[in-house]
Amino acid sequence: MQKDLVFSRNCIDFIDDAAIHQTLNAAKVDPGRVRAIIAKSMNKEALSVEETAVLLKADSPELTEEIFDAARRLKREVYGNRIVLFAPLYIGNYCINDCKYCAFRRSLRSTVRKTLNETETVAQVEALEDHGHKRLILVFGEHPDYTPEFMAETVRLIYSVKKGHGEIRRVNINAAPLDHAGYKVMKNAGIGTYQIFQETYHHESYTKFHPAHTHKGNYLWRLDGLSRAFEADCDDMGIGALFGLYDWRFEVLGLITHSLHLQQEYNVGPHTISFPRLRPAHGVNIDPRYLVSDHDFKRLVAILRLAVPYTGLIMTARETAAIRREVMQFGVSQIDAGTRLELGGYSEKQNENQELKREQFSIGDVRSLDAVIGELVKDGFIPSFCTSCYRLGRTGEHFMEYAIPGFINRFCTPNALLTLSEYLEDYASESVKQSGYQLINAELSKIPDEKVKKLVSERLVKIQNGERDLYF
Ligand code: SF4
């Protein structure tokens, strides 16, 4: 067991299972109250746990449709119609933990284990750049080899890889909780978001899936993980739950409780929330009791959208292409695309086959980045590789200054158009290039501010003439 752990200054276990159950059971659903709560969200105010519980209980077809409609409108008002794209890059899948739902758990000997060395990492990044990616999230198991120094070195290496117009402009991290000193090392390497999923906020289920003798068996060390990161001056945090381990309504209230706790303690909520659903994985037997249906998954996303109006919502390629297409409208702001989870998979022949012994879990959407971009454009979304907020210091509290009042639309849409144009010039198939520029011209004409419209037009011409990396 880990010794001498130093927690955050006001560390408490802010998840009270009985209180969450009681809030869910006590929530009364009358249409007037539901509409008042929706109005609060549309005013871009975060919802309380109790208000979110009312929306979770409001499952009549009529009220569900009102919740869906509000989520669609709120997403457009706060983030415009852009969808930010990224790719996950697994660096190492050795792990000392033994999480029951994971193909990388230490007791599963048949999993193919690997840690990318420098040459292999560069090859992966060049392959990702050749596909057109600009934003990555690095994934590490928890292992003594994956020290903060090793992860920081990997981040620096990735920022140094330039191929043609290819470069990675933002690197996020999904890894184990660190101590204050560890987060400082990551901060100094120039990371974007640090992501830690509690997996399940339900204490009893957490103990069931995470053996007590493993590092990850320490519920409070993990729950306190991002509080320590804030205290170490990291800016952007990502929280999440693995839906399917326990009742999805409880997990949604766990996420909202966590979000409000960070807001209260550090004056800034999570930058992103993820809501992965359990997927088939090598050597994993899934207990179907708490699996989330597609209908409830749509409700889950729409309710999160209303509960945290200014927090990014990440939907991954765990979901099938069909579900992603349907759920995108309910408030999702970021997705991965052209995803490969096999370590070293991006430089291998791209096809639809997955090697489960090399993956943490199977994915539902194996389409290429170009195919996903083509569909987003067809559906009226602007695919974006924007990293300007991060690079201009609009992060953490400063990001929220922009997000809360809803001004971000003035930055998101112009930057989405510019980064999309780069992709169309350097990486797109001919058909995607054509439909992409039709979308850009249509969106350009919709920009209300003539001065902004002129600046965007000028920069689009510069990009077509070969300049790159122009942003607001
Ligand atoms: S979920 Fe993460 S910590 Fe748990 S076994 Fe898998 S890789 Fe390790």
Flag whether pLDDT at 413 surpasses 80: yes
- What per-residue confidence (pLDDT) applies to 392? 86
- What per-residue confidence (pLDDT) applies to 352? 75
Interatomic CA distance for residues 35 and 342, integer angstroms: 45
On the 0-12 / 13-18 / 19+ scale of CB atoms within 10 A, 405 is exposed
Flag whether pLDDT at 349 surpasses 90: no
Distance between Cα 160 and ligand 1 center (Å) = 28
pLDDT tens sequence across 97-131: 999 999 999 999 999 999 999 999 999 999 999 99
How many alpha carbons fall within 13 Å on the CB side of residue 26? 9
Per-residue confidence at 404, pLDDT binned at 50, 70, 90? low
Per-residue confidence at 409, pLDDT binned at 50, 70, 90? low
Interatomic CA distance for residues 97 and 107, integer angstroms: 9
Phi, psi for residue 379 in degrees, rounded to 5: -90, 5
Cβ 200 under 6 angstroms from ligand 1: no
Flag whether pLDDT at 395 surpasses 90: no
Helices (H) and strands (E) in the chain, counts: 19, 11
**What does the pLDDT average to over 430-445?**
98
Interatomic CA distance for residues 317 and 310, integer angstroms: 23
**What does the pLDDT average to over 421-442?**
98
- What per-residue confidence (pLDDT) applies to 291? 98
Distance between Cα 328 and ligand 1 center (Å) = 28
Flag whether pLDDT at 410 surpasses 90: no
Flag whether pLDDT at 399 surpasses 70: no
Q: For residue 216, which atom of ligand 1 is closest to its CA?
A: 3
Distance between Cα 95 and ligand 1 center (Å) = 6
Testing ligand 1's pocket by substitution, the residue of 90, 104, 215, 274 carrying the most ligand atoms inside 8 A of its CB is 104
Flag whether pLDDT at 402 surpasses 70: no
Structure tokens at 368: 């290429």
**What does the pLDDT average to over 281-289?**
94
Per-residue confidence at 463, pLDDT binned at 50, 70, 90? very high
Phi, psi for residue 90 in degrees, rounded to 5: -80, 125
Between 358-372, 382-396, 426-440, the lowest mean confidence (pLDDT) is in: 382-396
Flag whether pLDDT at 385 surpasses 90: yes
Domain ranges of the chain: 24-74, 81-402, 407-464
Contact 346, 89 (CB under 8 A): yes
Distance between Cα 269 and ligand 1 center (Å) = 25
**What does the pLDDT average to over 156-183?**
98
Q: For 197-212, b where at least 16 C-beta lie within 10 A, e where not — what string?
A: bbbbbbbebbeebbbe
Cβ 105 under 6 angstroms from ligand 1: yes
Cβ 99 under 6 angstroms from ligand 1: yes
Which residue type occupies 363? I
Cβ 196 under 6 angstroms from ligand 1: no
Task: Give the residue, 245 or 389, on which the prediction is more confident.
Answer: 245
pLDDT tens sequence across 31-49: 999 999 999 999 999 999 9
Q: For 61-85, b where at least 16 C-beta lie within 10 A, e where not — what string?
A: eebbebbbebbbebbeebbbbbbbb
How long is the chain? 472
Which one, of 436, 417, 315, lies nearest residue 374 by Cα?
436
CA diameter of the chain = 61
What is the C-alpha radius of gyration for the chain, rounded to an integer number of angstroms?
21
Interatomic CA distance for residues 304 and 46, integer angstroms: 10
Which one, of 241, 313, 329, 212, lies nearest residue 272 by Cα?
313
Distance between Cα 149 and ligand 1 center (Å) = 20
Contact 335, 85 (CB under 8 A): yes
Q: How much of the chain exceeds pLDDT 70, in percent?
A: 96
Q: Which residues pair with 172 in a beta bridge?
A: 137
pLDDT tens sequence across 293-318: 999 999 999 999 999 998 999 999 99
- What per-residue confidence (pLDDT) applies to 400? 56
Q: Which residues pair with 92 in a beta bridge?
A: 115, 140
- What per-residue confidence (pLDDT) applies to 127? 97
Distance between Cα 391 and ligand 1 center (Å) = 31
Q: For residue 93, which atom of ligand 1 is closest to its CA?
A: 7
**Top-tier CATH class for 81-402:** alpha beta
Interatomic CA distance for residues 151 and 139, integer angstroms: 10
Which residue type occupies 251? E
**What does the pLDDT average to over 236-251?**
98
Cβ 141 under 6 angstroms from ligand 1: yes
pLDDT tens sequence across 54-66: 999 999 999 999 9
**What does the pLDDT average to over 322-329?**
97
Which residues have a Cβ under 8 Å from the Cβ of 25 and sit 6 or more positions away? none
Structure tokens at 406: 């809803």
The answer to whether the Cα torsion of 186, 235, 47, 79 is positive or negative is negative
**Mean pLDDT for the chain?**
95
Q: Which value, to the nearest 10 degrees, does the dihedral of the CA atoms of residues 200, 330, 295, 246 take?
A: 10
Interatomic CA distance for residues 176 and 195, integer angstroms: 9
Q: How much of the chain exceeds pLDDT 90, in percent?
A: 90
Structure tokens at 453: 């419209």
- What per-residue confidence (pLDDT) applies to 171? 98
Interatomic CA distance for residues 428 and 253, integer angstroms: 41
Contact 188, 152 (CB under 8 A): yes
Distance between Cα 365 and ligand 1 center (Å) = 22
pTM, rounded to two decimals: 0.96
Interatomic CA distance for residues 341 and 357, integer angstroms: 11
Flag whether pLDDT at 79 surpasses 90: no
Between 262-271, 384-393, 419-428, the lowest mean confidence (pLDDT) is in: 384-393
Structure tokens at 147: 């020290």
Residue 337 Cα distances to 70, 308, 443, angstroms: 27, 24, 23
Per-residue confidence at 405, pLDDT binned at 50, 70, 90? low
Per-residue confidence at 95, pLDDT binned at 50, 70, 90? very high
